[in-house]
């Protein structure tokens, strides 16, 4: 179809593009700030006005991964010369690596473990929430369930209260059953958080899939389970992807409960990163490096599923 | 080669009864069309036979075996949906192969069957496409292909061409008919379009509000409707139904429309053949537009009437005639009555007249 456009329409269109660009810049500014700080030399991190042009370095990332302490006196030149390049970067900043007393091995900071914890907890809770949510939504969507609307409302109502309100009871309950500071504890909690969201979102998506698809499969000799896996799941892929992204982001970013319910073994990255502010003079570049790395998995996950997400957003609008 | 039988089938949706005491026998290789307005229970009946809907009472038998407790998958019946319901994430080939994959056949067998069906339906060039890239007619061919590929006992179609535009519908109608003559499997076809029903069916099953109205060949339901509903549902333009009284005058029967001064003359036979009492109490006279003869001059046996509305349809006109308080629509040659408001003379062909009981709507079974 040939688009006939007047000059006013074209001008409005340009105006809209400019507005979108401005909004995008505003949204991206904090991310740029964190990303650039992660590559800045320490003294530039807090300079006023902020430095925009600088020579990027990876010292903050090296420091992020190792345990360090302040140098009391300058390091001996022969020790400095023998040190690997990354250790030199630490010496350059007036700090030294903490090595274990007997073996002299370099000790890692707490960050890699916390990062891994975040990955484990967010991934497993997302799989659980989306999986259970999809099954539940399918049931509500396809079968007559007694008190369906009441049950759905009940499921939604679990999100009607700020979660932090139940933090203290949760803490006491978790302590009583020994779930404090365990991966399972956080996984259960985040799954419960996300489940209501997942059920509602997936119900919307599954409602959109015509029943005839499954009925055709049922008539063609498949069981309902087979029809679900062969027809409904592929058709719901878009919805599953969109739901998974949202659940993953929620679990990945969760701060308050992670802070209260974990301290060492199962602690995730969000409560760990700010806890580093307090040790000595705050080194913002290291905190920024930790934050920057923490942003990446969500960004990558969302990027990989971007096509599904776009389709998910317009679902129902473009279907014939 | 499959027989399907329904015995006393009843179905409720909550309080609403959608199928009432339905008995039906469908013979080997018969093409049955279930016809009725939307909500008449025809689709529910079809879905019940397929196993997509449970029934509350009665039996469904396929080849003499009671099947209402069997799952849809175990009834070996194919179903073509109005929405075609092709799986968007599969190619045409995969769509057609899908029913075979449930049966653990070898890859070569599946491939052979798919290609054979594709050949019959002339969709071989489309096999690698996705359903979204097909035209409406091709989607329908694929849907039929998916239904035929495993040679089911019976083929059920729920308004399979209802979603297509008029021209394509006509083509597909012919194609379905050709296919049935070639394949000859027992087929039940649901539609609300009486033209489709008449052109396709060996026998038409007419339903209304969950009740079976009439079963018969297209010719039977057209020329011997069992009741007022069938009379008005089959045929286009719709059959005229007029309230009338029958009396004897000058040695012949006179059928006088309500509000009219004179009656149309009918053979004397009519009086004797109407059930006792019905003549005086009034009956419903049914006459198709082609059963009314119209003249522009007075003629023996013709009554003067006024032409009210003229609908030119190209090949012929439909003229609305005012007879007493009733309006009769007659079919005339194109341009036969030049202007609305003209006085013309009309006669009802007794052979084509139908008589119904005004209370029950049932046909009185009188044929002249």
Whether residue B360 contacts residue B338, with contact meaning beta carbons closer than 8 Å, is answered with no
> Which residue among A212, A223, A226 places its CB closest to the CB of B85?
A212
Task: Tell me which of A11-15, A292-296, B180-184, B348-352 is least confident.
Answer: B180-184
Predicted confidence (pLDDT) at residue A279 exceeds the cutoff of 80: no
Contacts of B89 in chain A (CB under 8 A): 234-235, 237
pLDDT on residue A90: 85
Residue A234 to residue B89, Cβ atoms within 8 A: yes
Residue A222 to residue B89, Cβ atoms within 8 A: no
Residue B89 to residue A235, Cβ atoms within 8 A: yes
Contacts of A213 in chain B (CB under 8 A): 85, 87
Stretch A289-301: mean pLDDT, rounded? 91
Stretch B80-92: mean pLDDT, rounded? 89
Residues of chain B whose C-beta is under 8 A from some C-beta in A?
Answer: 50-52, 71-73, 75-79, 81, 83, 85, 87-89, 98-99, 102-103, 146, 150
Name the closest residue on chain B to residue A320, using Cα atoms: B132
Contacts of B81 in chain A (CB under 8 A): 212, 215-216
pLDDT on residue A313: 55
pLDDT on residue A4: 63
pLDDT on residue B120: 87
Contacts of B71 in chain A (CB under 8 A): 218, 223
Residue A213 to residue B51, Cβ atoms within 8 A: no
Stretch B88-112: mean pLDDT, rounded? 91
Q: Which residue has the higher pLDDT, B213 or A63?
A: B213
Minimal CA separation from B323 to chain A, in Å: 49
Residue A220 to residue B89, Cβ atoms within 8 A: no
Shortest CA distance to B350 belongs to which of B260, B276, B256, B287?
A: B287
Provide ipTM, 2 decimals: 0.80
Which residues are within 8 A (CB) of B227 and not within 5 positions of it... i.e. 6 or more apart? B213, B214, B356, B360, B361, B362, B363
Q: What is the DSSP letter of B160?
A: T
> Which residue among A216, A226, A235 places its CB closest to the CB of B79?
A216
Minimal CA separation from B81 to chain A, in Å: 7
- How far is CA A8 from its chain centroid? 42
Whether residue B31 contacts residue B90, with contact meaning beta carbons closer than 8 Å, is answered with no
B187: left (phi over 0), alpha (psi -120 to 50) or beta: beta
> Which residue among B50, B52, B102 places its CB closest to the CB of A221?
B102
Q: What is the pLDDT of residues A193-203, one digit of tens each?
A: 999 999 999 99
Burial tier of A111 (Cβ tally within 10 Å: 0-12, 13-18, 19+): buried
pLDDT on residue B324: 86
Shortest CA distance to A96 belongs to which of A66, A56, A60, A64?
A: A66
Residue B71 to residue A235, Cβ atoms within 8 A: no
Predicted confidence (pLDDT) at residue A317 exceeds the cutoff of 60: no
pLDDT on residue A95: 82
Residue B102 to residue A212, Cβ atoms within 8 A: no
Q: What is the pLDDT of residues B264-276, one digit of tens each?
A: 989 888 888 888 7
Residue B72 to residue A216, Cβ atoms within 8 A: no
DSSP bridge pairs for B286: B241, B354
Disruptive mutation site among A221, A236, A239 for chain B (greatest number of B CBs within 10 Å): A221
Residue A235 to residue B87, Cβ atoms within 8 A: yes
Q: What is the pLDDT of residues B303-359, one digit of tens each?
A: 999 999 999 999 999 999 999 888 999 999 998 988 899 899 999 999 999 999 988
Q: Average pLDDT over chain B, rounded to whole?
A: 91
Residue B103 to residue A231, Cβ atoms within 8 A: no
Whether residue B208 contacts residue B226, with contact meaning beta carbons closer than 8 Å, is answered with no
Q: What proportion of chain B, given as a percentage, has pLDDT over 90?
A: 64
Stretch B264-293: mean pLDDT, rounded? 85
Which residues are within 8 A (CB) of B362 and not within 5 positions of it... i.e. 6 or more apart? B226, B227, B356
Q: What is the pLDDT of residues A144-174, one digit of tens each?
A: 889 999 999 999 998 888 888 889 999 999 9
Contacts of A226 in chain B (CB under 8 A): 102
Predicted confidence (pLDDT) at residue A100 exceeds the cutoff of 90: no
Tell me how many residue pairs between chain A and chain B have CB atoms under 8 A apart: 58
Residue B72 to residue A226, Cβ atoms within 8 A: no
Minimal CA separation from A320 to chain B, in Å: 9
Which residues are within 8 A (CB) of B327 and not within 5 positions of it... i.e. 6 or more apart? B240, B308, B320, B321
Contacts of B79 in chain A (CB under 8 A): 215-216, 219
> Which residue among A212, A221, A231 places its CB closest to the CB of B73?
A221
Q: What is the pLDDT of residues B172-190, one digit of tens each?
A: 899 899 989 888 889 999 9
Residue A212 to residue B72, Cβ atoms within 8 A: no
Distances (CA, A) of B12 to A209, B17, B207: 26, 4, 16
Residue B85 to residue A215, Cβ atoms within 8 A: yes
Q: Which domains does chain B have, with CATH numbers?
A: 4-225 (3.40.50.300), 240-356 (2.40.50.140)
Whether residue A171 contacts residue A180, with contact meaning beta carbons closer than 8 Å, is answered with yes
Q: Which residues of A14-38 are buried (b: 16+ CB within 10 A; e: fewer)?
A: eeeeeeeeeeeeeeeeeeeebebbb
> Which residue among B75, B81, B103 places its CB closest to the CB of A216?
B81
Shortest CA distance to B87 belongs to which of A282, A70, A210?
A: A210
Stretch B224-245: mean pLDDT, rounded? 92
Residue A84 tokens read as 């690997």
């Amino acid at each position: 179809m040939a688009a006939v456009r007047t000059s006013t329409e074209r001008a409005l269109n340009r105006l809209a593009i400019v507005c979108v660009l401005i909004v995008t810049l505003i949204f991206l500014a904090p991310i740029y700030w964190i990303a650039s700080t992660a590559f800045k030399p320490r003294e530039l991190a807090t300079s006023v006005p902020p430095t925009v042009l600088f020579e990027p370095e990876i010292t903050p990332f090296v420091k992020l991964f190792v345990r360090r302490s302040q140098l009391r006196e300058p390091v001996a030149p022969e020790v400095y010369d023998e040190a690997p390049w990354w250790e030199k970067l630490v010496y350059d900043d007036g700090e030294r690596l903490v090595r274990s007393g007997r073996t002299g091995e370099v000790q890692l900071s707490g960050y890699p473990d916390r990062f891994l914890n975040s990955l484990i907890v967010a991934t497993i809770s997302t799989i659980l929430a989306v999986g259970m949510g999809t099954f539940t939504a399918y049931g509500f969507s396809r079968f007559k369930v007694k008190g369906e609307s009441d049950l759905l409302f009940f499921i939604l109502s679990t999100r009607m209260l700020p979660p932090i309100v139940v933090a203290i009871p949760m803490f006491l309950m978790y302590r009583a059953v020994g779930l404090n500071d365990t991966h399972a504890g956080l996984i259960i909690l985040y799954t419960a958080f996300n489940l209501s969201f997942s059920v509602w979102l997936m119900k919307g998506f599954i409602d959109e899939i015509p029943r005839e698809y499954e009925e055709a499969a049922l008539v063609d000799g498949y069981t309902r389970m087979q029809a679900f896996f062969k027809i409904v799941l592929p058709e719901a892929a878009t919805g599953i992807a969109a739901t998974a992204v949202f659940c993953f982001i929620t679990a990945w970013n969760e701060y308050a409960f992670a802070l209260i319910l974990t301290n060492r073994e199962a602690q995730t990255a969000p409560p760990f990163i700010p806890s580093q502010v307090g040790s000595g003079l705050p080194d913002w570049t290291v905190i920024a490096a930790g934050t920057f790395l923490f942003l990446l998995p969500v960004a990558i996950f969302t990027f990989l599923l971007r096509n599904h997400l776009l389709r998910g957003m317009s679902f129902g609008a473009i279907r014939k | 080669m499959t027989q399907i039988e329904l015995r006393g089938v009843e179905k409720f949706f909550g309080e609403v009864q959608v199928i009432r005491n339905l008995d039906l026998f469908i013979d080997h290789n018969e093409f049955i069309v279930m016809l009725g307005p939307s909500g008449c229970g025809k689709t529910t009946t079809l879905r019940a036979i397929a196993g997509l809907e449970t029934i509350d009472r009665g039996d469904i038998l396929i080849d003499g075996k009671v099947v209402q407790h069997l799952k849809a998958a175990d009834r070996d019946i194919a179903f073509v949906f109005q929405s075609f319901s092709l799986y968007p994430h599969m190619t045409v080939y995969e769509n057609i192969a899908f029913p075979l994959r449930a049966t653990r056949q070898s890859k070569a067998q599946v491939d052979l069957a798919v290609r054979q069906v594709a050949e019959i339906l002339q969709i071989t060039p489309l096999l690698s496409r996705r359903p979204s890239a097909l035209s409406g007619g091709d989607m329908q061919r694929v849907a039929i292909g998916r239904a035929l590929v495993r040679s089911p006992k019976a083929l059920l179609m729920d308004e399979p061409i209802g979603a297509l535009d008029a021209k394509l519908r006509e083509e597909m109608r012919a194609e379905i008919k050709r296919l049935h003559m070639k394949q000859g499997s027992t087929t039940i076809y649901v539609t609300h379009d009486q033209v489709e029903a008449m052109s396709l069916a060996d026998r038409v099953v007419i339903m209304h509000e969950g009740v079976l109205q009439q079963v018969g060949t297209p010719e039977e339901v057209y020329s011997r409707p069992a009741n007022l509903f069938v009379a008005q549902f089959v045929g286009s333009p719709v059959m005229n139904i007029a309230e009338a009284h029958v009396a004897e005058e000058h040695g012949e029967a006179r059928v006088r429309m309500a509000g009219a001064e004179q009656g149309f003359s009918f053979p004397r036979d009519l009086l004797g053949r109407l059930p006792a009492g019905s003549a005086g109490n009034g009956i419903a006279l049914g006459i198709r537009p082609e059963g009314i003869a119209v003249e522009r001059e007075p003629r023996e046996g013709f009554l003067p009437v006024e032409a009210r509305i003229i609908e030119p349809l190209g090949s012929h006109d439909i003229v609305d005639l005012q007879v007493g308080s009733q309006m009769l629509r007659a079919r005339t040659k194109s341009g036969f009555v030049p202007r609305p408001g003209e006085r013309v003379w009309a006669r009802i062909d007794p052979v084509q007249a139908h008589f119904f009981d005004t209370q029950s709507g049932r046909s009185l079974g009188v044929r002249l």
